[in-house]
Amino acid sequence: MVKQIVFVLALLITLGIFGYTARRIIGFFRLTRPFPLSQWKERILLTLEVAIGQSKIFRFPVIGFLHALVFWGFLVITLGSIEMVIDGVFGMERSMSSTGRFYDFVMASGDVMAYVIMISILIFMARRLFFTIKRFYGVEMQKKSKQDAIVALSFIFLLMVSLAGINLTYVHQHAENYKGIYPVSAGLSETLFTPGSNQFVLHEISWWVHILLIFAFANVLPYSKHFHVFTSVPNVFFSRLGPLGYLPNMESVTREVKLMMNPETAFAAAPAGEAPPSRFGVKDVEDVTWKNYLDSLACTECGRCTSVCPANITGKLLSPRKIFVDLRARMKEKGPGLVKDKSFDDGKALIGSYISAEELWACTTCNACAQECPVNINHPSLILDMRRYLVMEEAAAPASLNTMFANIENNGAPWQYPAEDRLKWTEGL
């Protein structure tokens, strides 16, 4: 009974803290602009392929396979964690064992994956601490990013150690009648423990350490870059489904053009009562869509996008990863003020204070970054919207573009020659 009371108190504290964090993040989402959704069947299939199947992660075959194993292992182990919560609340033991073969499969998979994940985490930790991997570095990768990674990896490693402790001691304590199948722990327990020894205390310590680590980890994640543990699957589900090279028009601008060409068509197309746009493009966090902000929360900071960016490779300032790291940081900075007062202004902006025009204009919109991203972040769409702000609100386009704009205005084409002179080069052929 005492164990139940302590567990329920710990669970309520965990849910309370997580609820506060979730409410804060939902408040930030409410500051953003809409993002249309459709094609639900395609989204489900894409999620199964990219998120569950981890298809994009295998472009780095060895380390990608290890990442996939960790992800799949967590899916199975999460079911065991749900059982622990049920057991803790109701004072039961192995409450889901009545599911029979399914339970055997879950326990066997979880037992094997605990050790696989431990080995994988040690490899990831060694890569972070002892190897210089270029894509792990950059101006956006501050010391805190590395610390976040080490803390998260340490959490996961300890979770697996405590889970192994639970399985080892449970199998030893119930040698003749334990529920489930434990391929690794069943063999190791005979080696580690003397026959007939009582491992009840070690089992209880392992159980409590494991569940309290889960509670702590759940509340640490939203404040670190590893929030993608929660957001990556939804982010893939809400992916932009059009071709990567497609650059969407701005509806407000399209209607203005239609208004000039055919007033009746334009007025018919405009939604009734729709207010004119407060701003063209994206200047700050309140101008982005909720999907842009979800992208920033789902970013794993793996650097795959930046490592394939031709602008970055050739020494330009652009780093696609930095765009979303900066968006997340800017929302964390300005979001609380905007939640209290929609007109809040701290004198800064995403463009200028965080991201320079030079970075934005370096993008070739080749979409290599979006193609490579394992969680389907679409970097060029946000970069394009920020460039639209620079052009349409600030008239701050590069000189080469200004020349093209002037030619289109004067000659009806990007070239500097009038239409009647365009074929003069053929004279004398």
Average confidence score pLDDT of the chain: 91
Higher pLDDT, 389 or 247: 389
Q: What is the pLDDT of residue 275?
A: 66
379-396 mean pLDDT: 94
Higher pLDDT, 285 or 189: 285
Higher pLDDT, 204 or 422: 204
Main-chain dihedrals φ then ψ at residue 391, nearest 5 degrees: -75, -50
Question: Tokens 């101006």, residue?
Answer: 139
Distances (CA, A) of 331 to 218, 326, 340: 21, 8, 14
Question: What is the rounded CA–CA span in Å between residue 331 and residue 327?
Answer: 6
| pLDDT tens, position by position, 106-126 | 999 999 999 999 999 999 999
205-210 mean pLDDT: 96
Give the helix ranges, DSSP H, for 131-199: 143-173, 183-192
Q: Which of 223, 374, 381, 383 is nearest to 319 (CA)?
A: 383
405-411 mean pLDDT: 86
Question: What is the rounded CA–CA span in Å between residue 192 and residue 429?
Answer: 91
Main-chain dihedrals φ then ψ at residue 305, nearest 5 degrees: -65, -50
Q: Please answer whether residues 285 and 293 qualify as being in contact, where contact means their C-beta atoms are separated by less than 8 angstroms.
A: yes
Q: What is the pLDDT of residue 409?
A: 85
Q: Is 201 helix (H, G, I), strand (E, B) or coil?
A: helix
Q: Please answer whether residues 352 and 393 qualify as being in contact, where contact means their C-beta atoms are separated by less than 8 angstroms.
A: no
Q: What is the pLDDT of residue 267?
A: 55
pLDDT more than 90, % of the chain: 67
Q: What is the pLDDT of residue 273?
A: 58
pLDDT-derived band of residue 381, with 50, 70 and 90 as boundaries?
very high
Does the pLDDT value for residue 389 go beyond 90? yes
Question: What is the rounded CA–CA span in Å between residue 51 and residue 398?
Answer: 39
Question: Is domain 278-411 annotated with CATH 1.10.1060?
Answer: yes
Q: What is the pLDDT of residue 157?
A: 95
Residues 6 or more apart in contact with residue 293 via CB below 8 angstroms: 28, 29, 32, 285, 327, 328, 331
| pLDDT tens, position by position, 153-175 | 999 999 999 999 999 999 998 88
231-258 mean pLDDT: 88
Question: What is the rounded CA–CA span in Å between residue 186 and residue 183?
Answer: 6
Q: What is the pLDDT of residue 274?
A: 63
Question: What is the rounded CA–CA span in Å between residue 66 and residue 116?
Answer: 9
pLDDT-derived band of residue 197, with 50, 70 and 90 as boundaries?
confident
Q: What is the pLDDT of residue 271?
A: 59
Question: Tokens 């793996």, residue?
Answer: 302
Question: Tokens 């065991």, residue?
Answer: 80
Question: Tokens 């889901």, residue?
Answer: 96
| pLDDT tens, position by position, 291-324 | 999 999 999 899 999 999 999 999 999 999 999 9
Q: What is the pLDDT of residue 125?
A: 93
pLDDT-derived band of residue 60, with 50, 70 and 90 as boundaries?
confident
Question: What is the rounded CA–CA span in Å between residue 282 and residue 280?
Answer: 7
Q: Is 248 exposed, middle or buried (0-12, 13-18, 19+ CB in 10 A)?
A: exposed
Does the pLDDT value for residue 269 go beyond 60? no
CA angle 348/318/284 to nearest 5° reads: 25
* Torsion sign over Cα 385, 383, 369, 320: negative
pLDDT-derived band of residue 422, with 50, 70 and 90 as boundaries?
confident
What tokens were used for 97?
């064992």
User: What is Dmax (Cα atoms) for the chain?
Assistant: 104
| pLDDT tens, position by position, 341-358 | 999 999 999 999 999 999
